[in-house]
Amino acid sequence: MQIKPVLAALRHHKAGTLLIAMQIALTLAIVCNALFIIHARLARLSQPSGVDEPSLLVIGNEWAGKPDTDQIASLIAADLDTLRKVPGVANVYATNAVPLGNGGNVLGMGHSPDKFQRVADSAYYFADENTLPTLGLKLVEGRNFRPDEIGQVDGKGTIQPSVVIITRELARLMFPHESALGKPVYISARPSIVIGVVERLRTPFVDSSMAKWADNSTLVPYRWLIPFTRYVVRVQPGQLDEVMHHVRAALYAANRMRVINPKDGMRTFAQVREQAYRDDRGMAILMSGISVILLLITGAGIVGLTSFWVGQRRKQIGVRRALGATRHDILSYFLTENLLIAVCGVVMGGVLAVGLNLWLMKQFEIDRLAPGYVLAGVVTLLLLGQAAVLAPALRASRVSPVEATRSV
Amino acid sequence: MLSYYVDLALRSLKRSPGLTLLMILAVGFGVGASMTSYSVFRAVSGDPIPWKSSRLFVPQIDIWGPQGHLDDTNKGDPPEAMDYTDAVALMRDHRAKFQSAMYQISPSVVPADPSMHPINVGGHAVYSEFFPMLDVPFKYGSGWGTDSDEQRAAVVVISSKLNQKLFAGANSVGKTIDIDGKDYRVVGVLDNWNPKPVFYDVVNTGGFTTDQQDVFVPFQRAISAGMPNDGNTNCSEIPKGSGFVGLQQSSCVWIAYMAELDDKAAAAAYKDYLDGYFRDQKAAGRFSWPLNNRLRDLPAWLESEHVVPSDTKISLVVALGLLVVCLVNTAGLLLAKFLRRSSEIGVRRALGAPRAAIYTQFLVEAGTVGLTGGVLGIVLTWVGVWGVSWVLPKEISSLAHIDLSLLAITLLVAVIATMLAGLYPTFRASRVQPALQLKTN
């Protein structure tokens, strides 16, 4: 292979070589970090929530005029009745929060009441006997709540359930080697017996800081008697629009003294998911856009500079051709030249990429870059470089030997 | 002479339209992307109250001790908000020029017109000094007096938006509105006041929120009316009592606090007072850990609370990286372009043109590319700021806007950056040996 003459020629235009290599290095550093961010965001976007999303409707209801606790209990009971009577409604329950709903309550869970000995953080959902069938949760062990187990609680933090249902992930954290069923856990001063384990139920939070325990959820058998209540409605297949249309009117007709926010008081679960991951999707789009622009500009830059070099060396090419070099020799000369520059670029770029990632990790709590991304970036840029150089190199290979005799 | 160089530059650019277009596109995209990110960054990182932010302070008292903040996220900082006991004690002691404890409320307002549904409003329970401390502008009326704080009077300050909704924008001072079933007398209507971030209560609002601040009611009034906290509540242990009263007796933190201290001496004195307060409480047996209080001024507080979202910063970093790549790219292309004209330079130099003339000529050419790229950059920034609303969260993207200064910066950045990129190619061009060039021809 003709590496020696290529190196000799490169020494003659050091600056241009260095600029292309630098551009490739910087592009690689940015693109593989961007790819990494995109992939992390998309991975979060597609995480399952564990609930039967297509048939769920979430209503946020607030009572006006400060009803007291007893009034709220009967108001909620009346609302649940009203909702059940709406045609197309399959099931309904009242709660404090929904998965991905961004807003909920958290408790530490441990094997003793000592608050500093917690084993895991867990989101908790107020639930009743209708919660599992409404959400479509899959019980992998144990049983559902019984109606007589559902308690009432009026304010913050006084829940002391005697029984709970937890997710499989939480059960695994609490009891790594055995079944959690029938065992006591502590989320308050009193023990709560695990009566059921569901396959999966996401927490309401999509923050990356809470991603570590995204599947730690606990269902507590309580009705929460505060002025703000969420109703989760399961509709019969294909009736989502229909039900959505009637539910608000039915609730207002039953009782006017309430607030259902016209903007987001009533959402399908698809909308809940949409809103929860809006930022992540946005970031992914933004990073993709920037990566594409970067690759295009780098590619175009290589085309531009190589074209210039080809133009500059027409005479030498002509001489080489006159001395017997084939078209293929010329073509492979330029491809080799670009490959050499690009390899230098991607080596620098790999180091830069890791450096940039380390800096981002320190500044923004981003994960460590997996080597696969650098590798993907390296391959992409080498291919891009070869593709970009192809057109000018072909043009060079078509330079006729006669050029050797011409002056510029 | 300059116009001659501009003419030369235009001719040269016209001679290789492909290369020129490439450079302009690179500069345009680089500048457009970074300026779009910058406009968002500028919107969220600005000082919401520049004329007095250095005089506003947020006190923090370590009421939980080292065990209470086991979470590795806050690095030994005391809780960011206050519990009820300490907030009220600090208000009672009244050691700053102005101060206010505050918490977020979300009551419902029942319009007098029976055909309208009750509406949810957002707002804060604050003390009277909140208004002068933050220089809150009023359209009608004013805040309430300290006597209303003490008497827990049913008074309210409403936003101009709520005033528009309920009273069609008329002066409503003296009228009453129904909040959570009780009548409140309107004492003031805010002028358009919507500072971003919501700096007085970052803890509960997260800084950026699309929630409106529609009502402000006296703190103690809201407490006695049982208006629950609509913001965050953080507890290191489960409250013993139940409900809102239980929360007030607990060590849960949910109250934001801000104080105005006019000079360094006042700030130092206040810090001493805070530390003294801690020691007194410790002596009384409430705390068993060493003193660990903080008193940060507003800029430091916003920084420590990470008010600027990290996504915004990452976007800015990546966009600036894009700009750098575009400039390296432009430098390479300019180098190619300038060296291609070695013979032309040789002729000019042989005819007596000094190096400075070559410098001027090529820097003008680079500047021309930069200016054109900058114009494209302005267009792309405009598109970017418009398009950012479906990429970034609404409470942030709605703050990004284009103004004259952004346009000027865009153009300036484009021209200066391109000329910087052109510096080395120009240097190379000026080094061309006249004799050598003439000979080879």
ipTM of the complex: 0.78
State the burial class of residue B205 (Cβ atoms within 10 Å of its Cβ: 0-12, 13-18, 19+): buried
A282 and chain B in contact, CB less than 8 A: yes
A294 and chain B in contact, CB less than 8 A: yes
Query: Chain B residues with CB inside 8 Å of A16's CB?
Result: 332, 335-336
Is it the case that residue B44 has pLDDT exceeding 60?
A: yes
Confidence of residue B437 (pLDDT cuts 50, 70, 90): low
Of the candidates A19, A63, A356, the beta carbon closest to that of B332 is on A19
Neighbours of A191 (CB within 10 A): 16
Cα B14 to Cα B369: distance, rounded to the nearest angstrom: 11
pLDDT for res B141: 92
- Residue A119 main-chain phi, psi, to 5 deg: -95, -40
Cα B174 to Cα A89: distance, rounded to the nearest angstrom: 47
Is it the case that residue B372 has pLDDT exceeding 60?
A: yes
Confidence of residue B436 (pLDDT cuts 50, 70, 90): low
Of the candidates A15, A27, A154, the beta carbon closest to that of B335 is on A15
How many beta-carbon pairs under 8 angstroms link A with B? 175
- The helix/strand/coil state of B176 is strand
Averaged pLDDT for residues B33-54 = 85
Cα B1 to Cα A172: distance, rounded to the nearest angstrom: 80
Flag if A297 and B325 touch (Cβ within 8 Å).
yes
Of the candidates A27, A285, A304, the beta carbon closest to that of B333 is on A304
Cα B127 to Cα B98: distance, rounded to the nearest angstrom: 10
Distance from CA of A122 to the nearest CA of B (A): 14
Is it the case that residue A327 has pLDDT exceeding 80?
A: yes
pLDDT for res A158: 67
Is-contact A39 A283, C-beta < 8 A? no
Confidence of residue B432 (pLDDT cuts 50, 70, 90): confident
Averaged pLDDT for residues A106-134 = 85
pLDDT for res A195: 94
Is it the case that residue B413 has pLDDT exceeding 80?
A: yes
pLDDT for res B337: 83
Of the candidates B180, B335, B339, the beta carbon closest to that of A66 is on B180
A62 and chain B in contact, CB less than 8 A: yes
Q: Where are the beta strands (DSSP E) in B315-409?
A: none
Nearest CA in chain B to A363: B310
Is it the case that residue A156 has pLDDT exceeding 60?
A: no
Is-contact A230 A61, C-beta < 8 A? yes
Task: Return the top range by mean pLDDT from B325-339, B351-365, B368-382.
Answer: B368-382
Is it the case that residue A315 has pLDDT exceeding 90?
A: no
Flag if B328 and A22 touch (Cβ within 8 Å).
yes
Average pLDDT, chain A: 87
A212 and chain B in contact, CB less than 8 A: no
Cα A181 to Cα B320: distance, rounded to the nearest angstrom: 54
- Residue B19 main-chain phi, psi, to 5 deg: -60, -40
* The total number of residues written for chain A in this structure: 408
Which structure tokens are listed for B436?
């050598």
Residue partners of A16: CB distance under 8 A and separation at least 6: A305, A308, A309, B332, B335, B336
Flag if A290 and B319 touch (Cβ within 8 Å).
yes
A210 and chain B in contact, CB less than 8 A: no
- The helix/strand/coil state of A105 is strand
Confidence of residue A132 (pLDDT cuts 50, 70, 90): very high
Of the candidates B73, B117, B322, the beta carbon closest to that of A294 is on B322
pLDDT for res B392: 73
pLDDT for res A190: 87
Residue partners of B59: CB distance under 8 A and separation at least 6: B90, B257, B259, B270, B274, B293, B294, B295
C-alpha torsion sign, points A77, A80, A82, A85: negative
Cα A378 to Cα A123: distance, rounded to the nearest angstrom: 42
Cα A287 to Cα A32: distance, rounded to the nearest angstrom: 10
Averaged pLDDT for residues A35-44 = 86
Cα A155 to Cα A169: distance, rounded to the nearest angstrom: 28
Q: Which of A192-196, B64-68, B280-284 has the lowest mean pLDDT?
A: B64-68
Averaged pLDDT for residues A201-228 = 86
Flag if B325 and A27 touch (Cβ within 8 Å).
yes
Average pLDDT, chain B: 86
Cα B102 to Cα B219: distance, rounded to the nearest angstrom: 7
Of the candidates B239, B314, B335, the beta carbon closest to that of A16 is on B335
Flag if A116 and B324 touch (Cβ within 8 Å).
no
Of the candidates B119, B237, B322, the beta carbon closest to that of A30 is on B322
Confidence of residue B104 (pLDDT cuts 50, 70, 90): very high
Confidence of residue B357 (pLDDT cuts 50, 70, 90): confident
pLDDT for res B69: 55
Bigger pLDDT: B77 vs B29 = B29
Confidence of residue A155 (pLDDT cuts 50, 70, 90): low
Averaged pLDDT for residues B316-345 = 86
Is-contact A60 A217, C-beta < 8 A? no
Flag if A258 and B118 touch (Cβ within 8 Å).
yes
Flag if A283 and B311 touch (Cβ within 8 Å).
yes
A152 and chain B in contact, CB less than 8 A: no
Which structure tokens are listed for A288?
């993709």
pLDDT for res B16: 79
- The helix/strand/coil state of A1 is coil
Cα A227 to Cα B117: distance, rounded to the nearest angstrom: 16
Averaged pLDDT for residues B193-204 = 84
Flag if B239 and A156 touch (Cβ within 8 Å).
yes
Query: Chain B residues with CB inside 8 Å of A154's CB?
Result: 242-243
Confidence of residue B74 (pLDDT cuts 50, 70, 90): low
Cα B77 to Cα B68: distance, rounded to the nearest angstrom: 10
Averaged pLDDT for residues A289-301 = 89
Confidence of residue B77 (pLDDT cuts 50, 70, 90): confident
Label residues B287-304 b or e (16+ Cβ within 10 Å = b). Answer: beeeebebbbebeebbeb
Flag if B324 and A26 touch (Cβ within 8 Å).
yes
Residue type, A262: P
